[in-house]
Amino acid sequence: MPLYSEERDEVFVGRIRRDPSLENGLNLWCVADNLRKGAATNAVQIAELLYKKGFIA
């Protein structure tokens, strides 16, 4: 899956299994292009903050 996540916006999740060490626990494997996903999340968070402070409508 890491090979296919490059330059994509999606987050890929696989190998979802019950975690026997926790009552409601899960183990999973997750991969994403952190530059794309991180930058997008950061931009949205900045826009939300500017909106809340009244700088943008």
Q: Which of 24, 30, 26 is nearest to 12 (CA)?
A: 30
For the chain, give every domain's residue range: 2-52
Per residue in 23-53, pLDDT tens? 988 898 988 887 877 777 877 888 899 899 9
Torsions phi, psi for 23 (to 5 deg): -55, -45
At 2, the pLDDT band (50, 70, 90 cuts) reads: low
Q: H-helix or E-strand containing 39?
A: helix 34-52
pTM above 0.75, yes or no: no
In three-state secondary structure terms, 5 is helix
Torsions phi, psi for 10 (to 5 deg): -70, 155
pLDDT of residue 34: 79
At 12, the pLDDT band (50, 70, 90 cuts) reads: confident
Cα–Cα distance measured from residue 6 to residue 24, given in angstroms and rounded to the nearest whole number: 32
